[in-house]
Each structure stands twice: as structure tokens, then as C-alpha cells.
Amino acid sequence: MSVVTSLTESQREQYRTEGWVMLGRIMDDATLERMRAEELRFRQLRLAKDPALCNQTIFASQVCHMSEMVRRFCATGPQVELARQLVAPDLALWFNQFVTKNPDGDSGRSEFPWHQDNGYVAIDPPTNITIWVALDDVDERNGCVWVVPRSHEKGLLDHRRKSEDSWHLTLPVEGDGQPAILKAGEAVAFTGLTLHRSKLNHTNRPRRAFFMEYADARSRYSRQGEPWKPVTDSSNTWIVAGAAPIPDDF
Ligand SMILES: O=C(O)CCC(=O)C(=O)O
């Protein structure tokens, strides 16, 4: 099955007005298999260090430094052109992460509560996009992502720690939102201000996913009230389309 190479006008319109859109298939079978192999490599390392993670969510962040395959996909996959159409011609890959939601076994630990991505690290202007790719078929049973359509219109909301012993930031949200049900290789895109979450994995198999965040190469970031810095200052940022502004002290 072929991958998507451009967006329809109605997809662009939905992204603008609702703050999220289903992109369709962005990984072909061969890419999907290679991404799954990379996910397994990182997961096994984590589990070897901490076997208790077997019924929790395992995160492997900023893996472009550790995998040529992942770096090439983030920099040249079909989603780059889609993100360029939705964000800006000068585009930076800003964040990338495998998220593996292991079966819960009723621990309830694998929930990722409601948040905006910019609630963790704010981007200004907030035109950044997250492209979340399913590495397995996902639905309500195994912990798909849920989004709140039009929530991006509210701007950046106040996030608080979920509890004293949790690093999760969250906020009260009314209603259930809308599940993003995807086949493996398909992706959902949402803005940095779109409320989203994922619930528990009630199946007996891990739910594997990979996501990428892209931002306008001219935007700035601030982590939890720290001073603003250009996104290009981060060693995790890669320019994937166009060019970055050249700093004064170049
Ligand atoms: O993959 C998931 O379950 C949700 C992850 C997420 O929303 C995030 O890392 O911001």
C-alpha cells in the first residue's frame, strides 16, 4: 500500500479549524518493520535495566542520535512534506520518541493524562505539530491517542503535576474527546496546543508508537518558565526542510 505524499484541502482545513487531522499511511511495510526493530532495541535495553517497566509505558526519546534509520525517517519520510504544508517552509525536527504502552495488568500505570504538548515545553509561536505514528493497529482497547477537537483555540492552558510522585503534567478536561483509531503505519497529526491523552492498554501485547514534533525553524522554546531560546539552540533539533536563521554570533 502506498504512503501519502500530500494533504487534501479538507485535511488542511480540518487541521486549522479542529487542531488535529488523520494523515493516512506514512510508513510502508519495510519502514514499519525497521522502526519496530529499532523500538525493540531500545525497549530491551530499558527492560534489562528496570524489569518493573514490563507493565508500564516505556519512552525512548530523542533517538535520532542513536539510530541512522530513525534519523533518516524523521528527516526524509513523507510526513516532512505534510508538516511543511501545515507549519512552515523552514522546518525543524524538534522532538522524537518511541512510546510503548505495555499491557497494564490492572496496574493503571500506563495512562498518559490529558495535556497539550506545549504544556511540557512551550513553543512560540505555537505552530508546532506532533505527528504520532502507530506501529501497531491502535484503538480504545490498547491505548490509542484521544484528542479534543478545537481545544487548540483556547491557547496554552495551565498544567499541574498529576500527583507528587508523577512527572506527568495535566489539567481537568470535560468529556472523553475523540479516539484516533489507526492501522499500523498510519498517523494522526495535532497541534502543540491540542489536548490529547492515552488511556490504558487492556490487551496482552505492547502498543508501540513513534512520534515526531516539528516546529517552524524560527520559533523559540521555553521549558517550564525558563528563558526563551531559539529551537535551533537545542542539540536535538535538526533542520529537515528549508534553512534556519543564521545566529548573530555565527
Ligand atoms: O503515546 C501515547 O500514549 C501518548 C504520548 C503523548 O501524548 C506524549 O508523549 O505527549
The preferred substitution site among 198, 202, 210 for testing ligand 1, maximizing ligand atoms within 8 Å of CB, is: 198
**Lookup: cell for 46:** 530499558
pTM (predicted TM-score): 0.97
Phi, psi dihedrals of residue 93, rounded to the nearest 5°? -80, 125
What is d(CA 181, CA 174) in angstroms, rounded to the nearest whole number? 21
What is the reported pLDDT for 247? 81
Pairing label, strands 207-216, 129-134: antiparallel
What is the reported pLDDT for 107? 74
Q: What percent of the chain has pLDDT over 70?
A: 100
Ligand 1 atom with least separation from CA of 120: 10
Indicate the residue type of 37. Answer: A
What is the reported pLDDT for 94? 96
Q: What is the mean pLDDT of residues 198-223?
A: 96
What is d(CA 151, CA 147) in angstroms, rounded to the nearest whole number? 8
Ligand 1 atom with least separation from CA of 209: 1
Q: What is the mean pLDDT of residues 123-130?
A: 97
Ligand 1 atom 2: the closest Cα is on which residue?
198
Question: Predicted confidence band at 248 (pLDDT cuts at 50, 70, 90)?
Answer: confident
What is the reported pLDDT for 55? 87
Diameter of the chain measured on Cα atoms? 54
Residue 239 has pLDDT above 90, yes or no: yes
- CATH number corresponding to 9-241: 2.60.120.620
* 207 CA distance to ligand 1 middle (Å): 12
Ligand 1 proximity of 101 Cβ (cutoff 6 Å): yes
* 204 CA distance to ligand 1 middle (Å): 20
What is d(CA 63, CA 38) in angstroms, rounded to the nearest whole number? 9
What is d(CA 129, CA 193) in angstroms, rounded to the nearest whole number? 9
Ligand 1 proximity of 147 Cβ (cutoff 6 Å): no
Ligand 1 atom with least separation from CA of 97: 9
What is the reported pLDDT for 133? 98
Ligand 1 proximity of 100 Cβ (cutoff 6 Å): no
